[in-house]
Chains A and B, each alone.
Chain A
Amino acid sequence: MDPGPYTVKLEGARAAGYQTTILAVLRDPHYVTHARDWVAGLTAFLHREIARRMGLAAADYTLEFRLIGVNAALGEIESRPGQPTEVGVLGIVTAATQARATEIGKLINPFVLHHPLTPNEELPTFAFPYSPATTDRGALYEFALNHVMRLDDPMQAFRLQVTEVKAREMADARG
């Protein structure tokens, strides 16, 4: 058997933005029934508000709402979307800095709580399970490196630095 060239697997991740999340729960049956339409309207409205109030373009951030109880785990491939009693609305903001994600979170907070399904109905108030409703998640990491490196010699890409520590020095260091 020919083992082929000596290779090393390289895997790496990089920070791909910072996130702030928000969670609301819809129990009002009118909103539960129309949860997808509500979230589509809310998302369009928020993109306009974020552009107007923060001067951000669509490419500067992402805003996504996942409907827990409808299809949060599988998204568009869900074959049996729910007709639940209540719907969890998980909002995920991703931006280049935590400060920006946090600010977007603060901007969207009152609308996630009160956005009406249609312009002519009474403003609803949904359930926030805790306050403040937004949570900063810190950095988002994504895989960025998935390569195989060929080496002529196994140690070609690595350096060993050996430090010998005498037992007496270790004992002294421990005190």
Chain B
Amino acid sequence: MRVGEIAAKVRSKNAGPFWVTVDVFCGSRAAYDRLVPALSTAAVAQLYRQPEQLLKRFDIADLNVIKVSFPRPVVQGSRDDRDMHGAQWAHLLAEMEIDG
């Protein structure tokens, strides 16, 4: 199944000009408990072509949210930036296939 089929909403945005953050709003405890073990940090790092050690992952049980932040490959607004607000990055994760 895909992450976005289990989660209520997957959203991404800039976290300052140098970082982007992806929020997986699971929507329920059941979805959160399913996604936390199924979502491999290594797979997310590979999806965004980031070294795994640069990824910051926060599993926030109180909010049923999984949050992943990593450095933007290019700084916001610089010549090679394709997405000023980093908002479209979420869809890669929403479309990622996971087991479980």
Contacts and interface: CB of A to CB of B under 8 A. Distances in A.
B79 A74 contact: no
Given A74-B89, A74-B92, A80-B95, A143 B79 contact: no
Given A142-B75, A142-B77, A72 B82 contact: yes
Nearest to A141: B77
Contacts of B83: 73-74
Interface in B65-79: 75-79
Nearest to A80: B95
A13 B79 CA distance: 13
A79 B17 CA distance: 24
A105 to B, nearest CB: 16
A116 B19 CA distance: 40
B89 A17 contact: no
Interface residues of A, number: 22
Interface residues of B, number: 18
Contacts of B80: 64
A94 interface: yes
A143 B95 contact: no
A127 to B, nearest CB: 22
A44 B33 CA distance: 51
A75 B79 CA distance: 14
A13 B76 CA distance: 11
A146 interface: yes
A57 interface: no
Contacts of A78: 92
Interface in A70-129: 72-80, 92, 94
A73 B77 contact: no
A94 B79 CA distance: 8
Contacts of A73: 82-83, 88
Contacts of B88: 73-74
Interface in B53-100: 75-80, 82-83, 88-89, 92, 95-96
Interface of B: 17-18, 47-49, 75-80, 82-83, 88-89, 92, 95-96
7 contacts: A16-B79, A73-B82, A74-B89, A75-B82, A79-B47, A141-B77, A143-B17
